[in-house]
Structure 1
Amino acid sequence: MSRLIVKNLPKNTSEAQLRAFFSAKGEVTDIKQLKDSEGNFKSVAFIGFRESGQEETLMQYFNKNYIGGCKILVEPAKSTADTSIKKWSKNSATQEYPSKPLPEDLDSTRLYLRNLPYSVTKEDLQVLFAQHGEIEELHLPIDSKSHRPKGFAYVKYRTTESAVMAFDKLDRSVFQGRLLHIIPAAKKPEPISEIKAKSSYKHQLAQELKKRAKNSSTWNTLFVNSDTVASAMSEKLHMTKGEFLDKDNTDLAVRVSMAETKILEEIREWMKNHDINFEAFSGDRNSTPRSQEIIIVKNLAKGAVMSEINDLFSRYGNVCRCIMPPSKTMAIVEFRDTASAKNAFDKISYTTYRALPLYLEWAPQHTFDTPHEDIETVTTTNANTIFVKNLSFKTSQEALKTHFEASGKVKSAKIIMNKGLPCGYGFVEFNTEKEAGKALRNLNNSLLDGHALKLSESKTSVVIPKKRQRSPERQDEEEEDLRSKLLVKNLAFEANTTELKEMFQNFGELKTVRIPTKASGGHRGFGFVEFLSHEDAEAALKSLQNTHFYGRRLVIDWAKEESTLSSLKQKAS
């Protein structure tokens, strides 16, 4: 622990003076000035430092130093659990974990932590409390405005024994310079359902879907809505969606699957160009570690708008990143803290957006090559320039300039255009900073052409990302691979050899295509596709891995030459 007791302080010493004085040797996390019953300072204070094991260094530096003409005495503070300490009152004794049965509203495996430093992290608490047993859940509330911890947390263990042990060992101990207070916590309240439905059946179904949203075994990371795929591809091909989905085409199922494959290839390329680690999406979906701040938003309808998705998620916390590929079939949203992300995940899962339910999934860890905290932003403020948004598309630059001239002389007014069309925002530059400040105070939320203007200081930002170096471990594993035969599982029973051939021949020349059949008729749900070259087979494997065919997601892997029919049946089941 790094907690000091300081004696012989001047009577008029303030907390700010103590913080400024002792911050010379490290981050001060706690200052407690002892006072008598009348509120008079006793000239004694406790000072807590974030770094542990620094007592001797701090004593040598501060002991017998002077504050306000008084020579101070500095000693290491003792834990309240130390039996050598004389208790000042009956209330100063170390409390014990209740031996009697807890009230029904308390959880014997859940602890409530108080007096935490505002700089504490979830990882700090995880390391401290994991020493006493397996942790089931750790919740550190974050203030939505300051984005710092609120000073308390909850820890839930798997067993009561672990909770009791943590309580006995850590209560009243010094943690990052502060005395840690622990009490048994109340049971976690059941979430209140906000689902509205016209019938009890729909209500129950919606509840079940929300529960299943957290089950990672049902996730398909790169799932895209088939209707959105059809809309995107028909737009690329300059045809109507009806023409693209013409039911008279015999290869309709193959056409839709290949369209989905094309969209997924575009998403992969977009990921590589937007600082997204695509390798994180390539592992086994059940065993891949998941982030607790980044959410993948799927099943987006045609016409999805990134700003609408950002606004939807921003209701539940501070969104630091929201991106969407050009096809608008999915989005990735990153929150600054875990608590906000979990709240958004619970509230938004399966809610309707543009007539379609949103499918949410926790993104893999290390989704972004550049974490948001590693992005340096160099910001300069143009004090005499105002950024104006929520402009009507009818507003002209002359009208904008006239509207702001009531606050001072306008040097220039510019509305940002894109391909000749207004974007809904612009900039107004004044001659002086004083005039710009007056406009900010008086004209924010003022009406212009029926729109309430939103004003802020204009800022110029330069983002400097710190690239994360990828490990070259794969280079050592690369060996010459000559495999050219693929095993295709999870085939729909409507699929046939002709359709499978039409789908895979887009990637190269085929040697054989075979779907094993049952003696009673029909196929067994898997097939084999063999190419003439390994390169073509590998391209098909990568491109079709997340493609749906007749509504089923294809599961593709390299076929083993020694595979028996019985082992293949076992794999396909």
Structure 2
Amino acid sequence: MGKKAQGKNSGYIFVDLKSEAEMQRALKRKKEFLGGCCVEVSRYRSTAKETAPAKPEHQPWQRTLRDDEEEEDLSESGRLFVRNLPFTSTEEDLEKIFSKYGPLSDIHFPIDSFTKKPKGFAFITYMIPEHAVKALAELDGQVFQGRMMHLLPSTIRKDKVEDGEDAEESSSYKKRKEAKDKATSASSHNWNSLFVGTNAVADAMAQKYNASKSQVLDAESKDSVAVRVALGETELVQEIRRFLVENGVSLDSFSQAAGERSKTVILVKNLPASTSPMELEELFGKHGSLGRVLLPEGGITAIVEFLEPTEAKQAFTRLAYSKFHSAPLYLEWAPMGVFLSPAPQKRKAGVPGKEDEAGLEPGENSIKDSEEAAAQEEEEEEEEEEEEEENTPGCTLFIKNLNFATTEDTLKETFSKVGALKSCTISKKKDKAGTLLSMGFGFVEYKKPESAQKALRQLQGCSVDGHKLEVKLSERAVRPAVKSARKKQTAKKQKTSKILVRNIPFQATAREIRELFSTFGELKTVRLPKKMAGTGSHRGFGFVDFVTKQDAKKAFNALCHSTHLYGRRLVLEWADTEETLEALRRKTAQHFHGKVTLLLALPSWHCPAAGTALLAQLGAASYVLQPGDIQGFV
């Protein structure tokens, strides 16, 4: 409806119809009456507005699209293009600002290949697209380190879209699998940190013992081929670990399952045997400046360090699952703190081990540092285990009817008046925008059960932020969700010579397990518990008992890191100490009856005095002796 300058109706209306047929039908309404007025209907011819100033086609501040790019809806992609950034900014600065609006999935921060300085723009990708829309609305035009940021919805290249569509529509399973592996290559849980491929193990063994690959994999020999490859892998892994420790690598950092990952150090696995460091430098050096390249003898697994995070990310994206000597490269981001010393700024990457200016090899100090770090971590783990064992029942309270505005600090302040608190949490959930909202209940854990009972009596029905609280004892213990549930295999201390072996492949036999473990010492027993009769082979785990504890420890330390049998990694733990048969019987009887009653059958010639002496030797509290009977019993 047309409006005049004063805001009143002008008396004319614009109606947009869908088709020409409807337009012709509407034109027939001419001269009809509407509300007592004769209506004039005519076709509207659009004309260019002369009053509006003409905008230039190409404004200098607008980003023009290339031929291989197309616009993408921000609410679907969640990707922002940020420009006019100061050249002194870093990727961490951007992450700190943009992560306030939601979790980020990727930050692409290009730098100049010669000056190693930022180019002044970046690409920010959010996990949830709604967070990108919110960041665009609030950060566009804001001043960042003295310059005004300009944010735009990002664009995608057509070739990437077409490649993805071709991969999905193609019937080739190999192409679809390569596309899927490429997309998940940045996952931190793709590969074991010390993974060595079976083919690479066979090549390394053949090269080391000056034999052909067919002789290494000879299936007609008496011993098992799977055991032979497993032992070869164990030897290679030990050599790799020894080499890494000598060159300043902290092996304890690989044991952190969900720890933070490095942005400059890449683990390169599945390399062909006899790969040289120069080949790796040439391959990875095309994407940026390298710091250190560590490659053990035999060339199976390597560690490549970049000086710039952006160049490392670019190399990771382009080289993951790419073919290198007919074998795909398995890449993984190394954990934080993998190197005990910082990266050298000016150093030609090559074979490490050269003496430095002080005349000491770089491995001498690093070995001491790694041993001290390992000892310190073991002490911390023991303290954590002791704290976990100290968790006694009856210390946790369940709090209901909380005000949604109540914070954990307010709740902690209220309940800490009764006794010392261990933890205080309020259960929360995310809304559609990704904001954490209170669910109206929480858990308070005290250090002592007496404090929990006191709080149950005194704080029942107390008012917090206008709500009367309902307090109950909780059966479960509050555990922080940040800590990883994964523990090291060596966390349990050795008490026996028996090893519990998990994840045994079902096609493996007891003879192969005996053959594998007998390499490290004399065995007492090998037992693989079987399934129910007629339902299959063993149950996927077993017990290996050595004659001496020293042999058991040697086998455990050699096989616990990365030993695969028939493609499955063996998981080793120390078995619990076994009780004697008499102790088990006594424990069972006490569980059911509270005392032990023995029925002893005595020979017919047994005299009462001898029976009394026998019972006294057994330590019986009371007995009834019936002598003179052929079937005498006690």
Contact (CA 8 Å) 1:293, 1:336: kept in 2 or not? yes
Amino acid at match of 2:509: N
Distance across 1 between alignment mates of 2:297 and 2:326: 21
**How far apart are residue 271 of structure 1 and its match?**
0.5
Render the CA deviation track for 1:92-114: whole Å, top value 9, x for unaligned: xxx9xxxxxxx962424333222
Q: Quick one: which amino acid aligns to residue 266 of structure 1?
A: E
SS of aligned partner of 2:154 = strand
- Deviates most, 228-237 or 115-124: 228-237
Distance 1:494 1:364 in 2: 34
Partner residue, 2:81: 112
Return 5+ residue gaps in structure 1 as ranges.
1-94, 96-102, 380-459, 563-573
For 1:549, give the aligned amino acid.
Answer: L
1:348 aligns with 2:364: no
Give the whole-Å Cα distance in 2 for the aligned partners of 1:202 and 1:543.
Answer: 36
User: 1:318 and 1:476, CA in 2 relative to 1: closer, same or farther beyond 3 A?
Assistant: closer
What TM-score, normalized by structure 1, do the two folds share?
A: 0.58
Tell me, yes or no, if structure 1 residue 537 matches structure 2 residue 552.
yes
User: What do the CA deviations read for 1:324-375 (whole angstroms, capped 9, x no partner)?
Assistant: 1012112222223333323322322222222222222222222222231xx3
Q: Which digits, 9 at most, give the CA deviation of each residue in 1:428-455, with x for residues without a partner?
A: xxxxxxxxxxxxxxxxxxxxxxxxxxxx
Deviation at 1:150, TM superposition (A): 1.1
CA distance in 2, matches of 1:281, 1:332: 13
Q: Secondary structure at the match of 1:127?
A: helix
Alignment check: 8 A CA contact 1:291 1:365 kept: yes
Which residue of structure 2 lines up, in the alignment, with residue 250 of structure 1?
A: 222
Distance 1:149-1:552 versus aligned 2 partners, 3 A rule? same
Report whether the alignment pairs 1:475 with 2:475.
no
| Alignment CA distance shift 1:120-1:530 (3 Å) | farther
Larger displacement relative to structure 2 (260-269 or 159-168) = 159-168
CA contact (8 A) 2:500 2:541 kept: yes
Counterparts of 2:307 and 2:212 in 1: how far apart (Å)? Answer: 41
Cα gap change, 1:540/1:117 in structure 2, threshold over 3 Å: closer, same or farther? Answer: farther
CA distance in structure 2 between the partners assigned to 1:476 and 1:321 by the alignment: 31
Distance between the aligned counterparts of 1:378 and 1:515, measured in 2?
Answer: 53
Match of 2:296 among 322, 325, 333: 325
Q: Which residue of 2 aligns with 1:278?
A: 251
Deviation of 1:296 (Å) = 1.6
Where 1:369 maps in the other structure, the secondary structure is coil
* Residue aligning to 1:162: 131
Q: Give % identity.
A: 40
From 181, 187, 198, the equivalent of 1:226 is 198
Q: Once the two structures are superposed, what CA deviation does each residue of 1:154-190 show, in whole Å capped at 9, x if it has no partner?
A: 2233445533443454333332233333333335874
Give the residue type in structure 1 aligned to 2:568.
R
1:486 and 1:218, CA in 2 relative to 1: closer, same or farther beyond 3 A? farther
TM-aligned CA deviation for residue 493 of structure 1 = 2.3
Deviations 1:398-425 (A, max 9, x none): xxxxxxxxxxxxxxxxxxxxxxxxxxxx
Q: How does 1:396-475 map to 2 (within 5 A)?
A: 471=373, 472-475=376-379
Residues 378 and 164 (structure 1 numbering): CA distance in 2 closer, same or farther, change over 3 Å? closer
The verdict on how the C-alpha distance between 1:264 and 1:116 changes in structure 2, with shifts beyond 3 A counting, is same
1:132 aligns with 2:104: no
User: Conserved in 2, the CA contact under 8 Å of 1:253 and 1:550?
Assistant: yes
Structure 1 residue 263 and structure 2 residue 236: aligned?
A: yes
Matched residues in 2 for 1:126 and 1:301: separation? 38
Contact kept in structure 1, 2:290 and 2:305, CA below 8 Å:
yes
- How many angstroms does 1:376 deviate by? 6.1
The one-letter code sitting in structure 1 at the alignment partner of 2:148 is: L
Change beyond 3 A, Cα 1:124–1:215: closer
Tell me if the contact between 2:85 and 2:147 (Cα under 8 Å) persists in the aligned partners. Answer: yes
Which residue type is aligned with residue 98 of structure 2? F
Q: Report the number of matched residues.
A: 378
> Paired residue for 2:526, among 508, 513, 518?
513
State the Cα deviation string for residues 237-296 of structure 1 (Å, max 9, x = none).
344444333332221322221111011100000000111111112333xx2432232222
Give yes or no for contact 2:291–2:347 (8 Å, CA) kept in 1.
no
Aligned counterpart, 1:100: none
Question: 1:86 is matched with which residue?
Answer: none
Q: 1:501: Cα distance to partner?
A: 1.5
Cα deviation, residue 483, structure 1: 4.6
**Contact persistence 1:510–1:531 (CA under 8 A):** yes
- Per residue, is there more strand in 1 or in 2? 1
Letter in 2 for 1:345: F
**1:121 Cα deviation after fit:** 1.5
